[in-house]
Amino acid sequence: MTKVILYVSALCTVLLWGATGRAQEQRPDNDKLLELYQTQQYREAAVYLQTFYPDTITDPAVLGRLGYCYRMAGDYVQAERYYQQLYAMDSLRVSTLLNLATVNVQRRLYPQATGYYLRIIAIDSNHVRAYRALSHLMKRSGNAASAYDYLQRANHIQPLNSEVAFDFAQLCLDQEQYGRADSVLQRALEADPNNGLLLLGKIKVAGKMKRYQEVITVGGQLLEQGDDSQQVLSLMARGYFHTDDFIRCEETYKQLLEVHGQMGETDYYYLAMAYRAMKRYQEGLECMDKVLTLAISPNTAFYYGRKGDLHDLANQPSAAVSNYLRSFQFEVIPLHYYSMAIVYDRKLSDARNALRYYRQYLKQNLSEEERIYIDYVQKRIKELE
């Protein structure tokens, strides 16, 4: 009897060791997972993990890893599935709520994302990341007041956080609270005086507050730190203009063009005015031509034509003709001659002008696609002559 007991005990021990060995063999290889992560093969990592665990797995660590893999792979539906399982297990876990909010933002399900962020701040009233996210979501939905309030709260909690300070200062600028924007940035800069993001905010605020010498000083600091962005160079050039340093204004605009190859109509205007101040009128005129070219949309003539069509349909023939004529100041669109002729012919009973614009239409470089109009015009001219 004793021998039997000893045999069974030994057999159980062997079976247990075997089971343990198989369980250990079935664990995921962390080195392999790390390699998949490093090569950004997140979907492959998720599939690899799923070979070791059943769909009924309830281990929070495993669910979190699977959710992460699918989120990084861009499969947000699958990621949310695992995060929802975690949420069902613990609805107060902030990391899970953050992941659910992030996934819903990625899917552009903004109301759902907002709900998760609101739950986060209900749990943790000092959660800066959630306040920032809520501010962005409120701004997207057009709720400027709430966007301001959430970001103000984030800035109150972390006044030295450069990204929060910059974003909040930008909202203050949008609401023309220039002094508030300046004080927010200044406090953060006292802790990090070389922070490029904060300095960028500072130069924008200085420009709005017409502190042009400060614009030049801060701009110089940004240039020394390697920020020769179009925005920085443009603000610096305007700073030089407003301090009557027209030579440096020109030099800065030339640097802007060398680096970026183009600039906006307002910058060409300032450069033109700088040339005027230096009595270099021909160069000023060349800049003003560029201002006018940039100020006029390439679609302006087309838009005037469509406005003319609407006046015609509204039985306002004189207004229709006026808009067709206005379109020619920007570009000659042959069909507008045809449309004017039709209005004079059918609505205004003005055969002389109808003939004039029918003939003008035929003088244009017309394509075969307009054959139906060409045939009609040629026939109608013969009838009216």
For 176-222, write each residue's pLDDT tens digit. Answer: 999 999 999 999 999 999 999 999 999 999 999 999 999 999 999 99
pLDDT band at 27 (very low <50, low <70, confident <90, very high): confident
Q: Is the pLDDT of residue 20 over 70?
A: no
What does the pLDDT look like over 167-182, one tens digit per residue? 999 999 999 999 999 9
What CA–CA distance (Å, rounded) separates 6 from 13? 11
What CA–CA distance (Å, rounded) separates 115 from 213? 46
pLDDT for 24: 42
45 within 8 A of 70, measured Cβ to Cβ: no
The 3-class secondary structure across 303-372, one letter per residue, is: HHHHHHHHHHHCCCHHHHHHHHHHHCCCCCCHHHHHHHHHHHHHHCCCHHHHHHHHHHHHCCCCCHHHHH
What is the CB-side half-sphere exposure of residue 263 using CA atoms within 13 A? Answer: 27
Average pLDDT over residues 6-19: 36
What values do phi and psi take at 99, rounded to 5?
-65, -40
pLDDT band at 47 (very low <50, low <70, confident <90, very high): confident
Which residues fall within 8 angstroms of residue 53, CB to CB, at 6 or more apart? 59, 62
Ranges 39-48, 159-168, 319-328, 332-341: which has the least confidence:
39-48
pLDDT band at 8 (very low <50, low <70, confident <90, very high): very low
pLDDT for 234: 97
At position 28, the amino acid (one-letter code) is P
Higher pLDDT, 50 or 228: 228
The pTM (predicted TM-score) of the whole model is 0.78
Ranges 19-23, 36-40, 267-271: which has the least confidence:
19-23
Ranges 37-41, 136-140, 232-236, 246-250: which has the least confidence:
37-41
